[in-house]
Structure 1
Amino acid sequence: MARSGLPVTHELLDEFPPGQALSHVRGMLVHSGVIAERNEYLERITPWLDQLLEHRPAHHVRLIRPFAHWHVLLRARRNARQRRITYGSSEFVKSRIRSALHFLTWLDGQEKSLDTLRQEDIDRWLVSGPHERYAVRCFMDWAVRRGIVGSITVPAPRHGHPVRFIDEDRYTQLLRRCVNDVDLPVDVRVAGALVLLFGVTVQRVLQLRLEDLNCGNGSIDIRLGDKPVRLPPRLAQLVLELAESPRDRSAVSRAVGTTQFLFPGRVPGRPAHAAAFANKLNRHEIKITEVRNTARITLALDLPAAVLADLFDMHINTAVRWVQRAKRDWSTYIAARAEDLNHEWRPQRLT
């Protein structure tokens, strides 16, 4: 780059093969102010798409490119104006594109095309594979609206009920361990406690900046959603300890200025990677899905959906489903318990 004499831009960096080295160099240049910051999770999708389509048949490329750029990515960019694009969001976008490609490949194997596609073909595709195939609905809706296929319908995938939880004793044990176990790394203790208490995703925890902490009068308010939440005193002390600990892992970060992320990553100026940090929590027996589900069902028993969404960075539809699930399960439990008690104390007739 230095020898070329060309201006250093994101577009120039995009010409290099994607990988960890490129990501690190880009992070250093952004952090030092050489190039402007951009949403990398979103912008990385285009070079990923180019690589994905490189050896695909021409008739696949002619369909997937407009679908990806003018439907999936366009919608993602609109959403990015209101909600940040995270690693999970970018993987969701990629899954829609992969699903369309898988379906087109399957059609080729059936010696069919979109011109001759019938409803029984799409139904056969759906029932002959995993539930993730229903993601093709996004592609089919787009194709129907543009007249590429006839009147084809793909039912919306049903939201499966969470099935992985932990019992109350285990939940309490993990929370106490995060708060009190000095042998655990402090970043694990803070992240684990936030997930256990508030049911937030790891991605949201890692996006926390120092400016999201409001310290005053011996307490700390933290902003996870639209409204701040007051932290319990012991957790507030841990968060303060993490915020005041040495933060920068690279010489570039130390030279330019301290990172503002509460959980800094290896790439200068960026937070820790979500998947890697989730694995770190799992290694310390904090199973993310189980503890997050348990926290959410517990909160949903006491708080209305609107409050859950405002406080804990949860989409309102997700919050509504959790509240409905909590009320249904609680009512079922009470009815079952009443039946058990009635059966237990009913006088038995002697024979």
Structure 2
Amino acid sequence: MRGLYDRCTLHDRLDTLVVALPAAARGRFEPMRAALAGCDEPRTALNWLRNSRSARLLTGLASAGRPPAHEDLDELARDAGRGEAQAVDYLRGVLVAYRVLPERDELTPRIERHLARTVKRRPEHGLLLSAYVRWSLLPPRARRANPRPAGSRDRIRWAYTRINIAGAFLIAMRGQGLSLADVTQAHVDAWLADGPSTRYEVRDFAVWAARRGHSRPLNIPHRAKKDTAGMDEDSTGSSSTSA
């Protein structure tokens, strides 16, 4: 009996969600509604609709009276905290999987979003980091560096790592009263020796900065480990939350 109750409640929830949409948009949600309504574990789907951040975001978008678009999700994620941004990304994945939204290469928007957050925390380095990301990390260079399927987690983490490390390096040098142009090889060597091996990922930033005339040439070896485990989008040490 409990399973039947859950399934009926699930149907009611889904119907309420879809009815809030304009009539012309409801057909796009039908495959998603049908899949959730017919799933083997209706309680799991019901709990997602009731309790998850991503489902609450979907309900909010639907109640606005228009079908969600990638641009709506981009706007929600732009100023969101880490947990909320993860919920937006999860919801986007669900909507793309059920073809409510078209598939999109997420690499560029995710990099730009992370850059905006980094600059917000470190505004004194905003111009330099923005130029670095624009000319060194955004596609097509990112595609050549990591020729993997569009929007893959590895490619996104690849860019996050370099943004985080570049920001950390600039902050460390500023803490010593140094501008990037003042940094010497001795400063770099001391910084590399005093931290984890991920610091060697600053090589990409250092090469770019020297080529653009922002710094003197600095010698930073390639990191020994071929496939790096990139730093999280917000490397604050906080635990992730469910989407």
TM-score (norm. length: structure 1)? 0.41
Q: CA RMSD in A?
A: 2.6
**Letter matched to residue 214 of structure 2:** I
CA distance in 1, matches of 2:164, 2:87: 25
Q: What does residue 152 of structure 2 align with?
A: 86
Q: Which residue of the partner structure matches residue 212 of structure 2?
A: 146
Q: Which residue among 206, 217, 223 is the counterpart of 1:157? A: 223
Deviations 1:123-146 (A, max 9, x none): 221122222211111000000010
CA positional deviation for 1:89: 2.9
> Is 1:38 aligned with 2:104?
yes
In structure 2, the partner of 1:64 is 129
AA of the residue aligned to 1:69: R
Contact 2:148 2:155 in 1 (8 A): no
Structure 2 CA distance for aligned equivalents of residues 40 and 152 of structure 1: 32
CA distance in 2, matches of 1:3, 1:61: 37
Find runs of 4+ consecutive structure 1 residues off by over 6 angstroms: none
Cα distance in structure 2, aligned partners of 1:57 and 1:24: 29
Comparing 124-133 and 136-145, the one that deviates more: 124-133
Structure 2 residue aligned with 1:13, among 73, 85, 95? 73
Give % identity: 36
SS of the aligned residue for 2:121 comes to coil
1:109 aligns with 2:175: yes
> Which residue is 1:269 aligned to?
none
Which structure carries more helix by proportion? 2
What stretches of structure 1 of length at least 5 have no aligned partner?
Answer: 161-275, 277-351
Q: Tell me, in whole angstroms, the C-alpha distance in 2 between the residues paired with 1:146 and 1:111.
A: 22
Residue 154 to residue 7, structure 1, CA distance change in 2 (3 Å): same
SS in 2 for 1:151: coil
Whole-angstrom CA distance in 1 between matches of 2:136 and 2:188: 21
Deviation at 1:32, TM superposition (A): 3.5
TM-score (norm 2): 0.57
Which AA in structure 1 matches 2:112?
T
Structure (1 or 2) with the larger CA radius of gyration: 1
Distance 1:15 1:122, change over 3 A: same
Distance in 1 of aligned mates of 2:156 and 2:69: 22
Instruction: Summarize the Cα distance change of 1:11–1:77 in structure 2 as closer, same or farther, 3 Å threshold.
Output: farther
Unaligned runs of 5+ in 2: 1-60, 227-239
The aligned length equals: 159
